[in-house]
Amino acid sequence: MHRLGQVNSNIKHQGVKMASKKVLAIVLAGGEGKRLMPFTADRAKPAVPFAGGYRLIDFALSNLINSGYLQAVVLTQYKSHSLDRHISETWRMSTQLGNYIASVPAQQRMGKSWFLGSANAIYQSLNLIHDARPDIVVVVGADHVYRMDFEQMVRSHINSGAKATVAAVRQPLSMANQFGVIEVDESAESDAGTAHRISAFIEKPDSTPGLTDDPSQFLASMGNYVFDADALEAALEHDSLREDTEHDMGGDIVPYFVGRGEAFVYDFTTNDVPGATDRDRNYWRDVGTIDSYFDAHLDLVSPLPVFNLYNSSWPIYTRQSISPPAKMVRGNTDTAGTALDSILSSGVVVSGGAVENSVLSHDVYVSSGARVMDSVLMDKVSIGEGAVVRRAILDKNINVPAGATIGLDPDHDRRRGYKVTESGITVLGKDQHVPAPDERDKELARAALADPLPAGTR
C-alpha cells in the first residue's frame, strides 16, 4: 500500500495515547447509496471510485491510520464484493504488531434479520467490541471526502467528560434541511475548549438558529462519533429493546445521549491536520448525490485546489495500479495531445485529443480530435476520434464511438437512455452502450470542435 511504511511518521504521541486509552475504530460501510445510481448498481457506496484511483472508503481509513488508530473493523452489507476485495488487497496491516483492518459482513448474530440501521449494525457486531476490549470506540462513515485527525477529537472527548461526542462541520443555514442539526449549550464549555454539550439534535429541520460567532452557519453532523465503549454498549442494548426506533446512530443513539446530558459536539474547524493549506483546511464533502460527487471532483483540478490530494504529511492511501505512466502524444493527424487543469491517472493516453478541467482514471484513452471537458471518466473508458464529452460522468469500460457526443444536449442524451441530473450532468453506468453517432451527434460535435481551445492547450 502506498507509503504505508511511512505512517508512523504521521502518528503523534502514539505511545502515550495508546497506553492511556485503547481505541477501536468501526467504519460503517453498508450504505446502499441509491442517490448515486447507477454507480451503486454493482457496488456498495463506499466502493465507488473517486479522484482517478481511490475508493470513497480510502478517505475514512486513511484518516484513521494517520491518526494512529491501527485496529479497525469495516461493517459491510450491500453489494459488498468489490469493497471487500479492495480492503483485502489494499489495507494490509502488521498482524505481528496486533494491527488490523477487517471487513465484517452482516452475520445475523442477534436473530434472522440483516442490519436494520447503522446502530443495529454495531449492535449485531458487539462481539467485535467484546473481543477488542477498547476503552474508546470511534465510529465513522465511509462515504465522505475530507481529512481529519481523530486523535484530536478523542482527546477532546476525554477532556470533556462526555460519554458521546459528535463531530460537526459548519454549513450555511440554507442547508439545515439536508443534515442532522446540532444545537449546543454554549454556556457549558468543557475543559477541552473545543466541545460544548449538545442541547438538541434534530434531523433535517426547516430552520435552526445560527451560531453565536457566525449567525449565517449551523453545526451539521458529520456522521463521525466517539464513545466510551461501555456507554455505547448500554445505549445499543437499550435501543435494541425499543419498538419506536429506526436503529440509527444519528436518529436514535445520539438523541439517547443528548437526553441524558452526556453528548458533546466537536467542531471540525478546530481540527488541525498536518500539511493542510489555507484553501483546503477543514474541507468536507458529502458525496451522496451525483451532483455533489461531480462537484467534489472539480474541487481537485485547479492549480490551487479546494481539496489538495498532494498533502504528503497526511496521505490518502489506496491500492496502486500496475498501469504504465500517463502520457500525452501526437495523434494520427499530428495534433498534439493536451490536458489543462486535469488529473490524469496511470495508464491514461491522450493521443491528439484535448482534455480540460477533468479527472481521468486508470487506462483511459482519448483519441485524435476528441475533446473531454468538465468530466469524470473512470477506468478503461475510451473516447473515439472526434468524439466530444462535456459535463458527464462515465463509469468503467465505456467506449464512446468516433464522432459521438455526450453531455452537449441533455434532451438528446435522455432520448438515448442516459441519466441526466437536474443540473445537467449526464451519467452513464458501468459497461453502458453508446450508439454510433446520428445526425444530431454530428451537428453537436461540429459545433463543439469549432470552439477554440483554451489558452495552454493549443
At 189 the pLDDT is 52
Section 28-37 average pLDDT: 84
pLDDT at 143 over 90: no
Q: Does the bond joining 303 to the residue before it have cis omega, within 30 degrees of 0?
A: no
Tens-digit pLDDT profile for residues 115-140: 677 888 898 889 899 999 999 999 99
Number of helices (H) and strands (E) in the chain: give both, helices first: 11, 29
Tens-digit pLDDT profile for residues 46-95: 999 999 999 999 999 999 999 999 999 999 888 888 899 999 988 988 88
Segments making up each domain of the chain, as ranges? 4-298, 327-450
At 304 the pLDDT is 85
Percent of the chain with pLDDT over 70: 90
Report whether 340 contacts 358 (CB < 8 A).
Answer: no
Rounded distance, CA 133 to CA 21, Å?
11
Neighbours of 132 (CB within 10 A): 18
At 156 the pLDDT is 94
Find the angle CA(395)-CA(45)-CA(294) to the nearest 5 degrees: 50
Which DSSP state fits 437? P
pLDDT at 307 over 50: yes
Tens-digit pLDDT profile for residues 396-451: 999 999 999 999 999 999 999 999 999 999 999 999 999 999 999 999 998 888 87
In terms of CATH, what superfamily is 327-450?
Hexapeptide repeat proteins (2.160.10.10)
DSSP states of 123-151: HTTHHHHHHH--SEEEEEESSEEE---HH
- Amino acid symbol at 32: E
Which residue from 134, 110, 114, 142 is spatially nearest to 124, judged by alpha carbons?
110
335-343 own/partner pairs: CB under 8 Å, 24+ apart: 335/368, 335/369, 337/366, 338/453, 338/456, 338/457, 338/458, 339/457, 340/454, 340/456, 340/457, 341/301, 341/302, 341/303, 342/301, 343/51, 343/52, 343/300, 343/301, 343/309
Which residue from 381, 380, 383, 345 is spatially nearest to 366, judged by alpha carbons?
383
Neighbours of 334 (CB within 10 A): 8
List C-alpha distances in Å: 297 to 169, 305, 358, 433.
Answer: 20, 10, 8, 24
pLDDT at 31 over 50: yes
Rounded distance, CA 34 to CA 417, Å?
18
Which DSSP state fits 120? H
* CATH label, 4-298, candidates 3.40.50.150, 3.90.550.10, 2.60.120.260, 3.30.460.80: 3.90.550.10
Query: If you search the block for the grid coordinates 473493523, which residue do you land on?
Result: 73
* Helix residue spans in 67-136 (DSSP H): 81-90, 118-123, 126-132
In this prediction the pTM is: 0.89
Q: Which one is predicted more confidently, 249 or 11?
A: 249
Which residue from 368, 357, 381, 332 is spatially nearest to 449, judged by alpha carbons?
368
